[in-house]
Amino acid sequence: MVEPYLNQCEVKADGHWLVVSLVEASTRFVAAEKRCPACHGRLTMPGTFTWTETRRFAHHRKHDGCPLLPKIYCGTPSLHPNAVE
C-alpha cells in the first residue's frame, strides 16, 4: 500500500477511485465523492478556498484506526467502520 499523505485524498470519478491532490479535489472534483486514502472513511473539505489558503480535509466521522488522525489514532490501522467502497 502506498503511504497516504495529508495533501491527498481519493475521489470517485467514472466509477473508479483516483488519488488526487486536495487542490485538484477542491477545484476539478468539487461534486465528487471523497474518501480518506488510509481508512476509506468519507471526507469533507470544509471552508471556502482562496489561492493562498491551505486545503485540508476532515473525516465526516472520525475513528481511532486512521493514522492520518494523530490525536486519536490508537496505533493499529484499520478501515473505517462505515468505509466508502
Which pLDDT tens digit goes with each residue over 74-84?
999 999 999 99
User: How many separate domains does the chain show?
Assistant: 1
How far, in whole angstroms, is CA 42 from its chain's centroid? 7
Quote the DSSP letter at residue 26.
H
Parent domain of 78: 1-85
Question: Which pLDDT belongs to residue 37?
Answer: 92
Which pLDDT tens digit goes with each residue over 14-67?
999 999 998 888 889 988 999 999 999 999 887 655 555 667 788 889 899 999
Q: Are 25 and 45 in contact (CB under 8 A)?
A: yes
SS3 at position 5: coil
In the block, cell 492520518 appears at 68
